[in-house]
Amino acid sequence: MSHAPARTPRFAPVRRAVLPLSALVLPLAVTSSAHAGSNDGGPAGVHATVHAAPSSSPSSPSSPSSLQKSPPKSPPDSTWFSTIRVGERSAVTSPSGGDLWPSCWSDDGDLYAAHGDGRGFGPLPGTDIGVNRITGTPEQDDLAGTLVAKGDQVGQIWSGAGYNRKPTGMACVGGDLYLAVQDLKKHTFDSAPAATIARSTDHGRTWTWHTGEAMFADSVFTTIMFLDYGKGYADAVDGYVYAYGLDTNWRQQTDVYLGRVPRGRIQDRSAWEFYTGTRGGRATWSAEIGDRAPVIHDEERVYPRVHEDGVHDKVLIAQGGVVYNKPLRRYLYTTWNAFQWTIYDAPSPWGPWSKIRAKDFGVGWTQDKHGGYAPTIPSKFISADGRRMWVQSNVCGPCGAKPKTVYNFNLRELRVTPHVPSAPDNRKDAARNLATDPGTTPYERVTRAGRTSIYNDGDLTASEDDWNNEVKNSSWWGYTWPRVRHVNEVRYTTGAMPSDGGWYARDLRVQVRRNGRWTDVQRSRTTPAYPYDRTAGPGRTYTFRFAPAVADGVRVIGVPGGSHTFTSVAEVEVYYR
């Protein structure tokens, strides 16, 4: 059965700006998120390898450029959550300046957070590091703070004049605060040779540390992220304080390591021990840091090929944060790269960890759509049921990146629904569009403008697409639900069709998700037949009828077409008829 929109769509013209690499050299040698291939959004340095792929259709699975001798080693995809939704942009800001903001929730009820370059919640001029007490909540939009210590009051530089101090992790243990401070190379931000841990017993006003030598040296375990175990570390399951570490640098890593230390000996390097693996289902530990084994090893690379010059081929692990979500009894590690956020989840501090591709922010970040570096989830702002969290991250406006309004302590919402076994409760109803059911979460590869709500709002005149400068082999638009549904029909209405993309080139089909696995539907037929070129047309509806399926997710998926390999959407409707 065919279906045509009731009115002619009025799609806005598509605009895309991709700048050459020469345009990316900014003050402090930083790449800018305003440019298509360069959106770390932070103090990144010009570290990209330029690779311009041919502006043609994506390579086929059998082409030499797409073959690998063996797949990269990577944690399995998580099946623990049914839905996950990350805000497209910062939603709650504060009168502050700076970045990074690792934090902890102290016994006095306040949040303590350390900022990198900037003024924090204090007056100008800023400094390379400072500690702040933060009050208020994102729900009330009343975040406020006080700068309590900065600069030499907080830590020292071990590696010489070419380095700055950067905060990487905080722990509140009872009334004491612990801050991990690393040396990070100025301007290029590509070397972290040393780190130590400072302690405050008066809620951040004064700090002490061992001044003779750094606790961690030789670029080993020098990006330290303390596990956030709730108010005053009260949610800890044993007598240890846990900390995750990266070697060499704060970003673009493949391994995350884990250390632990008795609560009363955090600054005693000899008391630390490091995860070495599991035996009989139990974690094993060694006092020798050279014996350590990663708790997460991930070789996956994203954006391997791009159309225009710019950043590409990025791994996933970097400085972020690890929090214990007590209501859900789940550990979450949030991390980032130039394009996207990844969340790893586990039932224990050492795993086993699985992976959630939480959000791809694409390129060309704007005020309405942007990611950010060093994402963390403060335990203080986790809801009572654990399903609502808030993420802090930054874009380095002073470095030339855009937008320039999130170089401060800011938060955006993260909502999740844990997967629980369920049975479908929807009966056949020709008028019920399941895409509008409560809890429906849009699910797409990426969006150009960040308007994920447009394709289940009933308006067939709006358009979104997934152009992101990547040579993509797949593109999809769909939904996930908190529980399973009966489905047997999907109506996909196309969006704008510019000359370089917007349509599918081949293999357009419907997939459904059950128990975390996506599979093609059975006995599917499409009306009208999809043409696999630009004649698919803007604002045209294609109806897929298929054998009834029980699923908690549905999507249309295929190989994107056009010289810039992207597809567009105006609406996706889902029915059980």
Domain ranges of the chain: 81-418, 434-575
How many Cβ atoms from other residues are within 10 Å of residue 14's Cβ? 21
Confidence label for 70 from pLDDT (cuts 50, 70 and 90): low
> Of 260, 266, 261, 263, which Cα lies nearest the Cα of 244?
260
* Contact criterion met (CB below 8 Å) for 558 and 505: yes
Range 43-49 average pLDDT? 36
Does residue 511 carry a pLDDT above 80?
Answer: yes
pLDDT score recorded for residue 42:
58
pLDDT score recorded for residue 195:
99
How many Cβ atoms from other residues are within 10 Å of residue 316's Cβ? 24
pLDDT score recorded for residue 190:
95
Digit-coded pLDDT (tens) for 492-510: 999 999 999 999 999 999 9
Q: Which of the listed CATH numbers 1.10.10, 3.30.1180, 1.10.760, 2.115.10 matches domain 81-418?
A: 2.115.10
Digit-coded pLDDT (tens) for 518-573: 999 999 999 999 999 999 999 999 999 999 999 999 999 999 999 999 999 999 99
pLDDT score recorded for residue 400:
87
Range 374-383 average pLDDT? 99
Query: Of 291 and 34, which is predicted with more confidence?
Result: 291
pLDDT score recorded for residue 309:
87
Beta bridge partners of 100: 115
- What the block records as the tokens of 437 is 């059911």
Burial 151-169 (b: 16+ CB within 10 A, else e): eebbbebbbeeebbbbbbb
Query: Of 401 and 417, which is predicted with more confidence?
Result: 417
Whether the pTM exceeds 0.85: the reply is: yes
The DSSP annotation for 314-352 comes to B-SB-S-EEEEETTTTEEEEEEE-SSEEEEEEESSTT--
Digit-coded pLDDT (tens) for 328-373: 999 999 999 999 999 999 999 999 999 999 999 999 999 999 999 9
Q: Which fold has domain 434-575?
A: Jelly Rolls (2.60.120)
Query: In this structure, what DSSP letter does residue 456 have?
Result: G
- What the block records as the tokens of 141 is 């939009």
Range 212-219 average pLDDT? 98
Digit-coded pLDDT (tens) for 420-466: 999 999 999 999 999 999 999 999 999 999 999 999 999 999 999 99
Confidence label for 296 from pLDDT (cuts 50, 70 and 90): very high
The DSSP annotation for 66-96 comes to G--SSPPP-PPBP-SEEEEEE-SS--B--S-
The pair phi, psi for residue 210, each rounded to 5°, is -75, 120
Does residue 28 carry a pLDDT above 80?
Answer: no
